Structures are given as structure tokens and as C-alpha cells.
């Protein structure tokens, strides 16, 4: 059962608020340098990437805009089948734009693979991916991550946008959730 004290449900802090913010500043500087002289269109994948996108954007020194997409799994089997559907499409056209997809975590890669195919079909000038976390042990579909915050072990993590049953997104750090909370091992 999820208790009211969110911190008590955390087995260990994997990444502190300071570590996260320092790395995001580095990513922002790198992205700003790589896109110097260009405009960048950020696409955040709802809902987990909201905090990461908001913090990353504040470290970009180039002109940029943002939009959001939300997708959901089809049926029971989606996480293994890779079949997903769009819950909220982009508001703006991306034709001719330099697009940066912003994700909180790449796990199996199925979500990102679907979004990349969708975005590429809409004729942007370029597409790259920026992900805060990568859990490579779980990968099913290979996906290229151009800008990565941290590689993490195969543990279920929450905080800084990441949830379990829609909770814990508001934790300022990323922590390993106690397995007894979600019935894992
Ligand atoms: C999470 C996360 C990624 C996706 C990664 O989203 O935000 O979008 O899973 O998993 P994958 O690489 O195995 O596809 P989720 O569907 O939990 O929605 P949320 O962002 O609203 O939490
Ligand atoms: C999705 C997801 N959401 C929260 N924590 C994790 O470790 C996750 N992996 N994939």
C-alpha cells in the first residue's frame, strides 16, 4: 500500500536533485552549442517528461519552442508488442523544423521507437532524442539517444516526473521504489 509519506516508499536515492540539475545544465549547454544559429522545437512526451523539459528548456540559449504528445498502450499486451495509440497529438506542424524529442526514460524503447517513426513521417528538418534516463538492460527495440542524462540499472525508479500509479512524480530526486509497493522483487 502506498503511504502518505512518499519518501518512506523509497528504498534508496539513485540521483539527487543536485546531480540531476547539474547534468541538465550540461545537457542544455551541449544542445545550445550543437544547434547554434538554428531554432529548436522540443517535443515532450507526456506526462513523465514535463519536469525534465521545463528545466532543460531554461538552460537553452538558442531560440526554441515546445509542444507535447501523449501516447498510450493498446490493450494489455502493448509494452511487449510496441503497439500504441496517440492520446494527444502535437498541436503544431513540425515540417522543416529541427525537432528534439524529450523523454524522461527509455526502457524497452517501444515508446520512443513509435514516436520517432511518427515524427519522421512528418518531414522535420532533423530529429534527435534527449532522454534523462536510460535503462539499457530492458531494451527490446534499439533506439539512438543523442543526449543522455544518466544510464541506470534495471530497477523501478520514481520521482522527478516518473511515477508509479501516477504518484511520486513530485519528488525532486530519482529514487528506487521499494519493491513491496508495486509487488516486484
Ligand atoms: C514511460 C516513460 C516513457 C516510457 C518508456 O511512460 O515516460 O515514455 O514509459 O518505456 P518504454 O521504453 O518501455 O516504452 P508511461 O507510459 O509510464 O507514461 P507517463 O510518462 O505518463 O508516466
Ligand atoms: C517506465 C517507467 N516509469 C517509471 N519508472 C521506471 O523505472 C520506468 N521504466 N519504464
Q: What range does the domain containing 141 cover?
A: 18-152
Short-list 66, 5, 70, 20, CA closest to 39: 66
Establish if 167 belongs to a structural domain. no
Give a yes or no: residue 58 inside a domain: yes
Q: Establish if 80 belongs to a structural domain.
A: yes
Calpha distance 147→140 (Å, rounded): 20
In short, whether 103's Cβ falls inside 6 Å of ligand 1 is: yes
Residue 34, in any domain of the structure = yes
42 has pLDDT over 90: yes
Higher pLDDT, 84 or 167: 167
- The response to whether residue 134 sits with its C-beta less than 6 Å from ligand 1 reads no
pLDDT tens sequence across 95-115 = 999 999 999 999 999 999 999
A 10 A CB-CB count for 26 gives 12
Peptide bond into 148 cis (omega under 30): no
Please check the confidence at residue 185 and state whether its pLDDT lies above 90.
Answer: no
Atom of ligand 2 lying closest to residue 108 CA = 10
Cα(147)–Cα(159) distance, integer angstroms = 20
Q: Please tell me if the CB atom of residue 9 comes closer than 6 angstroms to any atom of ligand 1.
A: no
With respect to residue 171, please indicate whether it lies within any of the assigned structural domains: no
Q: Within a 13 Å sphere around the CA of 77, how many CA atoms are in the beta-carbon half?
A: 1
Determine which residue's CA is closest to atom 5 belonging to ligand 2.
157
pLDDT higher than threshold 70 for residue 150 = yes
pTM metric for this prediction: 0.95
Q: What is the total count of domains within the chain? A: 1
Angle, CA 50 vertex, CA 102 and CA 142 arms, to 5°: 30
Percent of the chain with pLDDT over 70: 92
Q: Which of 4-8, 77-81, 92-96, 114-118 has the lowest mean pLDDT?
A: 77-81
pLDDT confidence of 184, banded at 50, 70, 90? confident
Q: Is 107 in the pocket of ligand 2 (CB under 6 A)?
A: yes
The answer to the question of residue 158 being in a domain is no
**Is 78 a residue whose pLDDT tops 50?**
no
Q: Is residue 145 part of a domain?
A: yes
Report which secondary-structure segment, H or E, holds 21: helix 17-34
Give domain status of residue 52, yes or no. yes
Give catalytic residues, as residue numbers.
107
Report the CATH number at residue 103.
Answer: 3.40.50.2020
Tell me, in angstroms, the distance from the centre of ligand 2 to residue 105's CA: 7
Calpha distance 77→170 (Å, rounded): 29
Per-residue pLDDT at 84: 79
Amino acid at each position: 500500500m502506498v503511504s502518505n509519506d512518499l519518501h518512506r516508499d523509497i528504498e534508496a536515492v539513485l540521483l539527487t536533485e543536485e546531480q540531476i540539475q547539474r547534468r541538465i545544465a550540461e545537457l542544455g549547454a551541449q544542445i545550445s552549442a550543437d544547434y547554434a544559429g538554428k531554432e529548436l522545437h522540443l517535443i515532450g512526451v507526456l506526462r513523465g517528461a514535463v519536469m525534465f523539459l521545463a528545466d532543460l528548456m531554461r538552460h537553452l540559449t538558442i531560440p526554441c519552442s515546445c509542444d507535447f504528445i501523449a501516447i498510450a498502450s493498446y490493450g494489455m499486451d502493448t509494452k511487449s508488442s510496441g503497439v500504441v495509440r496517440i492520446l494527444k497529438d502535437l498541436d503544431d506542424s513540425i515540417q522543416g523544423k529541427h525537432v528534439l524529442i524529450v523523454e524522461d526514460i527509455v526502457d524497452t524503447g517501444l515508446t520512443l521507437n513509435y514516436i520517432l517513426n511518427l515524427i519522421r513521417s512528418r518531414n522535420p528538418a532533423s530529429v534527435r532524442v534527449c532522454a534523462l534516463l536510460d535503462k539499457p538492460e530492458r531494451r527490446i527495440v534499439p533506439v539512438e539517444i543523442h543526449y543522455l542524462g544518466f544510464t541506470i540499472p534495471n530497477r523501478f525508479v520514481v520521482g522527478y516526473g516518473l511515477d508509479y500509479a501516477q504518484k511520486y512524480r513530485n519528488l525532486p530526486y530519482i529514487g528506487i521504489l521499494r519493491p513491496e509497493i508495486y509487488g516486484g522483487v
